[in-house]
Structure 1
Amino acid sequence: MPEVVEETDPEGVDYGWVMQTTFVLTIVVGAPIVALVAVVSGASIPTWTAQATFAIRVGAVVWTITAVSVYLYARRTTVAVGDTDDRK
């Protein structure tokens, strides 16, 4: 039976962390944003289909912005193996 691998040591950006963080932040931050945009915009969304379409369209924008932001944060805070820059 193979040994279970429970941790990784990625070089550079840890894409697993980026995906998990993006998922959580999109739900925690995105749901209130979608609700707020629905209320503020005064959009007419009378049916379940219209509500789902609206949530998907606004949620896609929120997800894209969150994903790019989390990736850029991870890339900025990741120290390269050979990086000896002492500026802070």
Structure 2
Amino acid sequence: MPTSVETTDPAGIDYGWVMQVTFVLTIVVGAPVVAALSLFVTLPTWNARANFAIRVGAVVWLCIGIPVYAYARSHSEMST
């Protein structure tokens, strides 16, 4: 049987955790934000609604993803 060549580096940032937390928080926070902001905008077509959700969702994703990454980075430096 051939030996396994897979390796892992446990030190450093856990990017899987960062992506999972960002995904969940973006949905939990982003859905109410998009819904609330859509009350103040006229969205006559489905295309307009989709574009609005994508644009607001992208901003929410960045506003959540950057702090989550910073948190993971600060805690990975503490443990090393």
Give yes or no for TM over 0.5: yes
1:43 aligns with 41
Structure 1 residue identity aligned to 2:49: Q
Long gaps (5+) in structure 2: none
CA distance in structure 1 between the aligned counterparts of 2:38 and 2:75, rounded to whole angstroms: 35
Match of 1:65?
63
Unaligned segments of structure 1, at least 5 residues: 82-88
Taking the aligned partners of 1:35 and 1:10, their CA distance within structure 2 comes to 39
CA distance in structure 2 between the partners assigned to 1:45 and 1:10 by the alignment: 47
In the TM superposition, residue 19 of structure 1 has moved relative to its aligned partner by: 0.4
**Aligned residue type for 2:64:** T
Moved over 6 A (4+): none
Percent identity over the alignment is: 59
Cα distance, 1:38 vs structure 2: 1.2
Provide the residue aligned with 1:74 in structure 2.
72
Number of positions where the alignment pairs a residue of Structure 1 with one of Structure 2: 76
> How far off its partner does 1:26 sit?
0.3
Per residue, is there more helix in 1 or in 2? Answer: 2
Per-residue deviation, residues 52-88 of structure 1 (Å, max 9, x unmatched)? 000000000000111101000111122242xxxxxxx
Task: Report the AA paired with residue 47 of structure 2.
Answer: T
- Residue 30 of structure 1 is matched in structure 2 by 30
Q: CA deviation at 1:17?
A: 0.2
